[in-house]
A and B are shown apart, each in its own frame.
Chain A
Amino acid sequence: MSEQLTRPSSEELDATGLLSPGHAVIGEGPAVRRRFRVPDWVYTTLIVVGLLVLGQLAVDHGWVSKLMVASPTSVWVELKQGFSNGIYLHAINRTLVSTLVGFVIAAVAGNLLAVLMAMSGRFEGIIFPLVVAFQSLPKVAIAPLIVIWVGFGISSQILVVVLVAIFPVLVNSLQGLRLRDREQYELSKSLGASAWQIARWVRFPASLPYVFAGLRLAAVFSLLGAITAEFVGSSEGLGVLMLQQRASLNVPGTFATLLVLMVFGVALNEIMSFIERRVVYWSREVTTLNV
């Protein structure tokens, strides 16, 4: 989104100060002839390809140990094999479920808490310090404890995800609900709007950009939480798969799983931005309250 806002650099502005398309302007008066501008993604792709080639050469020529870096071709082989025998699909499925279920619970509970706090200053005053205190605790550190309480199954992973993801939802939504555009509020009052009408037509919509900023963070945190929980205590999932691959010194496999996780994370982010653009179509980007 911000990409589009920053795009028109001075180079792209022609002599009249108007935005010209990225093509050469030929003829049309003196000195307006310019070169074709290579799009950014070409360079990005070149860097990726360059790194892949470098990795391949480094491993093939023994510049680095095969036990430390996997060659791109071996990763590719591992990926193909893993997907054809269903190992990956199974692990992805498990991680996906705990990530998504945890995310949804965190989103619902976080927003519910935010609404309660926005409605009652008293409730906020009492609860918020507890939330902050809890947030200061590194969640990874309590993951083992949660496994002890809840067990080795998927519910412990979901719980960890919820605990990690609920905070960004809560603080961002609360921030959004605290906003009150004075004049929109007074306009509503002058029409005799009830508190509920004001909440529905003014406060909720105004808070949405903040709600989404929180949700986008929470999506990323959810994946983080799911993998953390799997590292600590699970029998299935991408995190577990990676631990197993590492234990059997399967370096290409470890890299392949990392790649899957990366795609997973990017997909989550893209889906969230897609929904966000649809719902808060009117809003420019909001600064996120980070944790």
Chain B
Amino acid sequence: MTQDVSSVTKGPPSGAEPLIRIEGVGKTFVGAADRTVALRDISFDVEAGSFVSFVGPSGCGKTTLLKMCAGLISLSTGSISYRGARRPIPPGDMGMVFQTAALMPWRTVMRNITYPADVLHLDKREARSRALELLKLVGLEGKESRLPQQLSGGQQQRVSIARGLLHDPAVLLMDEPFGALDALTREDMGFELQRIHQQSGKTILFVTHSIPESVLLSDQIIVLGTRPGRILKTYRVPLPRPRTIEHLQSPGMQEISAEIRALLSDNESRSVGMLGD
């Protein structure tokens, strides 16, 4: 849990036994007519209990990377190890929150949240009471018997966050979970997530488009560039927790934010330039 108080560092991560180790991972999608190199030579370590964010332009392979960690997409090159064994995160050990809410329209909010309990054969009554707690946590008390279509997009997304937490997974994989939320709710949910992270010691892999959000929440930020998808730089955020909105204004955080922004816009302009040539 304790973070090296090194300032902004770059380069391959180190550490004795990481929870997840990604080594030289690449992905090429082979279509009927073309091949897309979605990711090339990705390497990083995720320590147990750490919060790792992925930021990068649309199409740089964030979703692909997350799904590869989950074993949902095969690797073209490289390897993924989990707890020292060469395999992706085993099913049931992770909670997934997808970029879209991915709720089942025929299930009520309650039954959507308890879906992991159905699959994993968990106790029904316990699952229900836990689901009610989670509903409160995501600010949807009293909506348990609604159908997804009766909820707004942001509410649906919060239901899917609650579902990701239901079975108390060791690892949370979250793909832009706050994408459809308004700024204030988004902030609240961010702090809620930080609290969950601190209390439960879960390992969280978190995709976001918001640089401040990633700086606020993460121990480690992985900045990805596009064409092909690759790691531009890895940052460590050595600030103490819990972090508050005031921390965002601190020089250290401002510095990291500014650097990531510069890095991304540089990557963007360079790839646009390449297209122009």
Contact = CB atoms under 8 A, between A and B. Distances in A.
Interface of A: 181, 183-184, 186-193, 197, 201-202, 205-206, 208, 280-283
B108 to A, nearest CB: 10
Contact of A205 (B106, B116, B120): B106
B102 interface: yes
A191 B92 contact: yes
Given A191-B119, A192-B120, A201-B115, A181 B102 contact: yes
Contacts of B91: 189-193
Contact of A283 (B94, B105, B118, B119): B105
B118 A201 contact: yes
Contacts of A206: 106
B72 A186 contact: yes
Given A205-B106, A283-B105, A187 B98 contact: yes
B232 interface: no
A224 to B, nearest CB: 31
Contacts of A184: 102, 104
A197 B115 CA distance: 11
B70 interface: yes
Contacts of A188: 119
B94 A187 contact: no
Nearest to A194: B119
B48 interface: no
Contact of A197 (B100, B102, B105, B119): B119
A183 B173 CA distance: 14
Given A184-B104, A189-B71, A201-B104, 5 more contacts: A186-B102, A190-B72, A192-B91, A193-B91, A282-B106
Contacts of A283: 105-106
A187 B99 CA distance: 12
Nearest to A197: B119
Interface of B: 67, 70-72, 90-92, 94-96, 98, 100, 102, 104-106, 115-116, 118-120, 147, 149, 167, 173
Contacts of A187: 96, 98, 102, 115
A202 B111 CA distance: 13
Contact of B119 (A181, A192, A205): A192
A190 B94 contact: yes
Given A186-B72, A189-B91, A282 B115 contact: no
Nearest to A208: B106
Given A183-B100, A197-B119, A282-B147, A189 B105 contact: no
Nearest to A201: B118
A181 B105 CA distance: 11
A140 B71 CA distance: 54
Given A189-B91, A201-B115, A183 B105 contact: no
A190 B104 contact: no
B115 to A, nearest CB: 7
Nearest to A186: B72
Given A186-B72, A186-B96, A205-B106, A193 B147 contact: no
Contact of B98 (A183, A192, A281): A183
Contacts of A208: 106
Nearest to A184: B102
A283 B102 CA distance: 16
A13 B1 CA distance: 60
Contacts of B102: 181, 183-184, 186-187
A283 B149 CA distance: 9
Contacts of B72: 186, 189-190
A205 B149 CA distance: 16
Nearest to A193: B119
A184 B104 CA distance: 7
Nearest to A283: B105
A282 B94 contact: no
Minimum-distance CB pairs A-B, first 4: A192-B91, A183-B102, A191-B119, A282-B105
B156 to A, nearest CB: 12
A202 B236 CA distance: 40
Give the one of A189, A197, A206, A281 with max B CB within 10 A.
A189
Contacts of B167: 191
A136 to B, nearest CB: 31
17 contacts: A186-B67, A186-B70, A186-B72, A187-B115, A188-B119, A189-B72, A189-B91, A190-B91, A190-B96, A191-B116, A191-B119, A191-B120, A192-B119, A208-B106, A281-B106, A281-B147, A282-B105
A281 B90 CA distance: 35
Contact of A282 (B95, B100, B116, B149): B149
Max chain B C-beta neighbours (<10 A), residue from A183, A188, A197: A183
A206 B72 CA distance: 21
Contacts of B105: 282-283
Nearest to B150: A282
A93 B101 CA distance: 51
Contacts of A197: 118-119
Nearest to B116: A191
Nearest to B175: A183
Most chain B C-beta atoms within 10 Å of own C-beta, residue among A184, A190, A191, A201:
A190
